[in-house]
Structure 1
Amino acid sequence: MKSILVAITLVLLGFVTICKTDLDLFLDAQETFRLLGVNAELYYVRKGIVNNYALSFVLPIHPDVQDIRFTWRSLRQGPPDIYYNMSFEVSNPRAMLAPVANISNTGKVPNSISVFSITFPCTGNITADVEVVIQMNISIFSASNISVLNFKRKKTCLMDIRYQKTLRNKLYYNNLQPLTPRPINLTHNPITMDDTATHVKMSTRIFYITVGCACAVIILIAMAVAIYYLNTQKGNNRGYSERIKYYDSTSSQQLTKQQSQTFLRSETPVDNSYKSSSVRNYSCGPSPIPECFPPDPRDILQEMGIEHRRIALGELQMEGTFGRIYQGTLLSETESETELGADQGIIVKTVSDQARPDQVHLFLTESCMMLGIIHQNIYPVIGACIHPTQPPFVIYPHSSEGNLKKFLLKCQVSETGSHYSLSTQQLVYLAIQIVKAIQFLHRKKILHKDIATRNCVIDNDLLLKLTDNSLSRDLFPGDYHCLGDNENRPVKWLALEALVERRFSLASDAWAFGVTLWELMSLAQQPYSEVDSFEMAAYLREGYRIAQPINCPDELYSMMSGCWSKNPDERPKFSQLLVYLQNFYEALGQYI
């Protein structure tokens, strides 16, 4: 039985074949970070043992990456030497030529640590993902003792901009000119220099004639406008002599009033006692600028209003100091719909009667964070009931398993009676769904700022949805801390710059995802449980991070560690995280 367990462990780890050669072949930490954003060495052969999992991993190559640098050495101190033979296969020669190594394709493996590179030359003719296989045959002295290593790569090649311009120019000129040029009859239509000069003179005359006509038309229009203006002025000046005495007697008052309205200083109070329509419509002073207030979340949610009588509360799922989450039913509007079974299962978030107004306002504001966003991994608000005298209801679709953190805690005690049990592959599948949800929010220019398992829900088919963080502070008080600034924050999920400087970005969401992935692999254990929340900033500055969870693969922990880099620019992008997790998920599936 023990031997079977050992064999299974070796298969999962990928080290199953012992090479007949003493060889180290790997990507060093700097190269792995450049390609995958993970700061760890990736061994293909270590002390003669082949890592089949690493060889089966199809490594994506970004369009900006032109080559890959391998590190290797022979561990043999004396003869016989280790020899190699390299060859390449390319799935799309039109997009990429055969790779080129900076060493010969056949030769002897060096006895000291050396680096060789393989360049992937894209043609620039088309945009395509090219699958590349680098085959390396390792042998000792004779051809009968050969170990074959196949490195699988997927290079993304883009069409060159210059090539695009060339194609556009060809298309343009092909559209202008016929494919078969017309013959020129030099006998019947000879072209002479005199004819050319005549054509130039004629073109010049036509140009000047056109300009002259345009100027004449402009002059005629200007004269017509001037005549009309003079006639209008004559009509307006009639009766001037009869009104001149009146204006003489009031001119000083009008002048004083006009000056006072036009040249008011900013600190001078305006007399609002005179409110005639003429002053409101034709005031010479600056128009007042209305103050800008943030929209009231009640008004926003009221647009999704559902009548209170249609909401039937069921079992209480979670309860905090003032927040509550119920299972419920959204009743149909008409009797015909009721007969057809149109009642819908829902989840209702609400507050107690003792909740303070500021707590209610925070609950409603955070419920609006992802309003109107539709994605298979986003938990949408489908309605709200804003009643003037009763606590507000915010309505979500029904979720069979509910909160992800509560679900993972049930999986912790699976050996003591719970029917839940999750494999590593299933946990990676949940992480992939979280990454897809965050990517979609980022495309919508939204930073979540509170990514954690407590802000996810899950169904019994492992369909995960990322939620807003409304009521999370109340329902999970152990996850939020106040550092003397009168604000509860998820201190142990925040990136260093977000914790110290309140600076949030795509990179700070990547940090929080790393902690969330740690939660998944540890089945919702508390991160940094031994660290006081007031000491977190100093703890992170000194370079300390959470330890690797039990049964967590090294590859996943290396990816988490990359998310917790002190420099935000060094953290992996979510596109890189998605590719890495998907490939890791597929590799795990090969051993199940």
Structure 2
Amino acid sequence: MAGPGRGRGLALLVWRALMVAWSCCGSGSVCRASPGVNVYLSVEEMRRLIGLDAELYYVRNDVVSHFALPFKLLVPGETNSLHFTWHAKSKVEYKLGFQVDNPAAMDMPQANISVQGEVPREVSVFRVDLLCTGKLDSEVTMEMQLNLTINSSKNITVLNFKRRKMCYKKPEQEEKTPIYPGKNSSKDGRTTSIMRQQELVVEPEEGLVHDSVTEEQDVDDNDDQESMQVTDAGAQGSDLKELPGCNPEEERQNCVTQASKKSAYPTLRIEKNDLKSVTLAEAKTRVKDIAISRERVTLKDVLQEGTFGRIFHGILVDEKDPSKEKYVFAKTVKDHASEVQVTMMLTESCKLRGLHHRNLLPINHVCIEDGERPMVLLPYMNWGNLKLFLRQCKLAEANNPQAISQQDLVHMAIQIACGMSYLARREVIHKDLATRNCVIDDGLQVKITDNALSRDLFPMDYHCLGDNENRPVRWMALESLVNNEFSSASDVWAFGVTLWELMTLGQTPYVDIDPFEMAAYLKDGYRIAQPINCPDELFAVMACCWALDREERPKFQQLVQCLTEFHAALGAYV
């Protein structure tokens, strides 16, 4: 069994959504059957969960917290124990019971306290262990019931907690996997879930080299990625028609099928200036196979412009049939751009090359003819950059408050999580996930793009900390800021900030914090505040992404599941 502090990045998300059901206290907010009773997650437990110094109460001085959630959240496979703090000012008896719907997949939960007795008068902690049998793959529904009774009144307060947990079959013969520095294998011999085991690495230079990909790639003739066959896909058969290319059930199945293949996260350390070590000639060589004639491209309106870069709305003429045209984004540079800036535009544009998913937008072609400034072409999305779109929505809020709904924003978040889940399985680390690096169309379909030209087009989002490197400091995980270490877990951190951007309609995170103080600020446990009108449950998703220990952050598959269920719950009320 994993230790109490391991793999609990989603514990807050799970227990924050606990439904408090009570039978004899009526509809009032104060239950007289349990005087002076407190049941909560302590500061220490919260710090282990998400790195925040706060308490989360279920019952505070007899007042029961009610969260009207019509769905159950998933307990990640590696979360094997949960800790509660409780006490009462006077005599209160309790009874504790558990139920599971599939005993073959999960043992009956066990607590380190007796099944009945008195609530302690002094502050105490009890633990509930959730252990899978390892006999089969299954999603298990678990219920914990805590009854609180006062002898004098015989009134009973019933607290019901229902959750689901993913259990996985233990392989008959475990493969030998490398043990990475600082990561311990499971002490009891159980196979940890794929959420911990997925090995997420890229080659040096940010995974920019995808020339060895064997998939058919002709985005020019088939740039509608809806027709692509992708391995993680969910592009077909999804119950969520409004969420193209993402099937949560397949997300879970992908976790199961890969469970015996991977080990813990390795550390990827990106050396400074690694991109600048690439020459312009090398960058052009990498994209030579997708180069086309500049004559096929007509530039129209300028969509965005920076100091040395521009993004145009362009028209691409079909090579075989000149009568056929299609719109594209055309990224290029101005005449005064340096060779380093041109090289970085080309290399960073290759970050998603060779990858096919309906929520990714890799490059189509490039124009690299001698005597011309290089140009990068991507499929066109008619509402353009997601960050700019969100800010336009915020400006329009006063006149049209219903212009974009909370359900729409969660819908966008799910799509981003789907695309990032695909990248994680393909062992590609984005390193700069943010709304500025996403685009959207009029059907609210969102696609993740590379970060080429982002430093120039969104200069306020990047900062140099004295090392001649412009980095997205406000989106970076602590280990990335301090040690220059990146993994899918640091992408999860950035996703939490991106979700915050969505819920604030494009506001800048940590806007009042000096970039030079960000590392110390995060290390001390501080995070961005909960956005106005953001539900507690959605903020809990963000907060889980910001756990200091990267092993405690959720995986993208878990985020897809949680957000999909939250989206469905919103649909039931909106």
TM range, smaller chain: 0.5 to 0.7
Residue 410 of structure 1: how far off its partner (Å) = 0.9
1:325 to 289, 311, 314: 311
Q: How does 1:117-516 map to 2 (within 5 A)?
A: 117-120=127-130, 122-141=132-151, 145-160=155-170, 296-334=282-320, 338=323, 342-417=324-399, 421-516=403-498
Residue 402 of structure 1: how far off its partner (Å) = 0.8
CA contact (8 A) 1:37 1:576 kept: no
Counterpart in 2 of 1:215? Answer: none
TM-score (norm 2): 0.67
Residue 154 of structure 1: how far off its partner (Å) = 1.5
Q: Secondary structure at the match of 1:435?
A: helix
Counterpart in 1 of 2:65? Answer: 51
Q: Greater helix share, 1 or 2?
A: 1
Residue 381 of structure 1: how far off its partner (Å) = 1.0
What are the ranges of 5 or more consecutive residues in structure 1 without an aligned counterpart?
1-11, 166-291
Residue 318 of structure 1: how far off its partner (Å) = 1.0
AA aligned to 1:480 is Y
Larger radius of gyration: 1
Q: For 1:120 and 1:564, how far apart are their aligned partners in 2?
A: 24
Q: For 1:141 and 1:400, how far apart are their aligned partners in 2?
A: 67
CA gap of 1:25–1:55, structure 2 versus 1, over 3 A, is farther
Residue 429 of structure 1: how far off its partner (Å) = 3.2
CA contact (8 A) 2:51 2:546 kept: no
CA contact (8 A) 2:381 2:440 kept: yes
TM-score (norm 1): 0.65
CA contact (8 A) 1:315 1:327 kept: yes
Residue 550 of structure 1: how far off its partner (Å) = 2.9
Deviates more, 1:463-472 or 1:141-150: 141-150
CA contact (8 A) 1:378 1:466 kept: yes
Residue 120 of structure 1: how far off its partner (Å) = 3.9
CA gap of 1:518–1:82, structure 2 versus 1, over 3 A, is same
Q: For 1:100 and 1:366, how far apart are their aligned partners in 2?
A: 51
Q: For 1:155 and 1:26, how far apart are their aligned partners in 2?
A: 21
CA contact (8 A) 2:76 2:558 kept: no
Q: For 2:76 and 2:514, how far apart are their aligned partners in 1?
A: 41
CA gap of 1:435–1:147, structure 2 versus 1, over 3 A, is same
Q: Secondary structure at the match of 1:329?
A: strand
Q: Secondary structure at the match of 1:395?
A: strand
- Higher RCO (C-alpha 8 Å, min separation 6): 2
Residue 403 of structure 1: how far off its partner (Å) = 0.6
Q: State the Cα deviation string for residues 122-151 of structure 1 (Å, max 9, x = none).
A: 444322221122234445559985444321
CA gap of 1:445–1:485, structure 2 versus 1, over 3 A, is same
AA aligned to 1:323 is G
What are the ranges of 5 or more consecutive residues in structure 2 without an aligned counterpart?
1-16, 21-26, 176-277
User: How much identity, in percent, do the aligned residues show?
Assistant: 47
Residue 353 of structure 1: how far off its partner (Å) = 3.2
Q: State the Cα deviation string for residues 437-473 of structure 1 (Å, max 9, x = none).
A: 2332233232222222111112223222111111112
CA contact (8 A) 1:90 1:98 kept: yes
What root-mean-square deviation, in Å, do the aligned CA atoms of Structure 1 and Structure 2 show? 3.8
Q: For 2:437 and 2:280, how far apart are their aligned partners in 1?
A: 25
Residue 517 of structure 1: how far off its partner (Å) = 2.8
Count of aligned pairs: 447
Q: State the Cα deviation string for residues 223-271 of structure 1 (Å, max 9, x = none).
A: xxxxxxxxxxxxxxxxxxxxxxxxxxxxxxxxxxxxxxxxxxxxxxxxx
CA contact (8 A) 2:50 2:548 kept: no
CA contact (8 A) 1:70 1:117 kept: yes
Q: Secondary structure at the match of 1:378?
A: coil
AA aligned to 2:453 is L
CA contact (8 A) 1:315 1:326 kept: yes
AA aligned to 1:154 is R
2:123 to 109, 113, 127: 113
1:92 to 102, 121, 124: 102
Q: For 1:134 and 1:543, how far apart are their aligned partners in 2?
A: 31
CA gap of 1:442–1:65, structure 2 versus 1, over 3 A, is closer
Q: For 1:531 and 1:468, how far apart are their aligned partners in 2?
A: 26
Q: For 1:57 and 1:140, how far apart are their aligned partners in 2?
A: 31
CA contact (8 A) 1:450 1:469 kept: yes
Q: For 1:445 and 1:163, how far apart are their aligned partners in 2?
A: 25
Q: For 2:525 and 2:97, how far apart are their aligned partners in 1?
A: 43
AA aligned to 1:346 is V
CA contact (8 A) 2:280 2:343 kept: no
AA aligned to 2:363 is V
Q: How does 1:56-75 map to 2 (within 5 A)?
A: 58-74=72-88
